[in-house]
Chain A
């Protein structure tokens, strides 16, 4: 029997606080304001999707990324097809209620101290090192 496919899905179990903090701060039920309850004030840095403009630093990084491209040497694979594979799933969609507009929040008070203590169970996440050269700077760009 052939080897099982190598897992490429990150599944932090248990989820760390960093994984769920956006959910428990931004989603969930809210009690109506006039009821005698109060929301604990938390300092949040909110980047509204409608007004965010990618920084100059981001643009330069993405310009530099094109320099790393080797458009003519990728084993003959037509890269746009990598994304077109999504259309191979012929199942009928039951998608409902798509929301537009992303709101990304960073909680300085917690991200500074939050431990990433949840152990990563299951399969480790491997990515061909040659394909990702952006290092760990994704989070820094927020």
Chain B
């Protein structure tokens, strides 16, 4: 019997016996199944879109899914089951349980430039000194030093600002993970794993925070999406 040697993108792990989403096939192993779709010669952008679409459809239907990072390709369903699913059934089943009944939101927060520049200019002595130096010397180097001091001041305050956002949104999530940005226009990113029945309250909390800080911060809410930030390391 010839083994399946077709190439398949692996999109995620779901419970076995799941209702199948279009354009994908499930490969089962005990209580879990891998979501696969045929690897077709499409452009990268279209492949990415399909990956996102397939995973998002499971989320939309309320089915638990551990999303794969894009790009995993398996040669043959048998190989996939034998080499990846079978040896990891217990880990995957446990991880799937962790995201069952939960969705992820990603909140991206940026600084409104004039507002944060104004804030550090008022609060930070190093910036005040650099500004004062400009008065006597408006050379290129002096301006460079001023800009550098402003960026450094933003870097210094970022951790505190990030902690405050996490503290404000954290109570509405089961798990909250924050990542600080490096570009001075950005504050950071917050990945939240939220129970489905609490999703509306989480969204409202983000909306309220965005409104309250509309003059200082930009906020973008992505989600609900699959739990990309809350998958196990294998």
Contact = CB atoms under 8 A, between A and B. Distances in A.
Interface string A1-12: 000011111111
Interface in A35-57: 35-40, 42, 47, 49, 52, 54, 56
Interface in A91-109: 91-102, 104, 109
Contact of B185 (A71, A95, A101, A134): A134
B62 to A, nearest CB: 17
Interface of A: 5-12, 15, 17, 19-21, 23-32, 35-40, 42, 47, 49, 52, 54, 56, 58-66, 68-69, 71, 74, 79-80, 82-83, 85-87, 89, 91-102, 104, 109-110, 113-114, 127-128, 131-134, 138, 141-142
Interface of B: 10, 12-13, 43-45, 47-49, 51-52, 55, 66-75, 79-80, 83-84, 106, 110, 112-115, 117-119, 121-123, 127, 131, 134, 143-144, 146-148, 150-151, 157, 161-168, 170-171, 173, 175-185, 188-189, 191, 206-207, 210-216, 218-222, 225-226, 228-229, 231-234
29 contacts: A5-B211, A7-B207, A9-B207, A12-B222, A25-B69, A29-B13, A31-B10, A37-B84, A42-B71, A59-B147, A59-B151, A63-B143, A63-B150, A66-B127, A82-B115, A83-B119, A83-B161, A86-B168, A94-B176, A95-B166, A98-B163, A98-B166, A98-B177, A98-B178, A102-B180, A110-B45, A114-B45, A131-B112, A138-B183
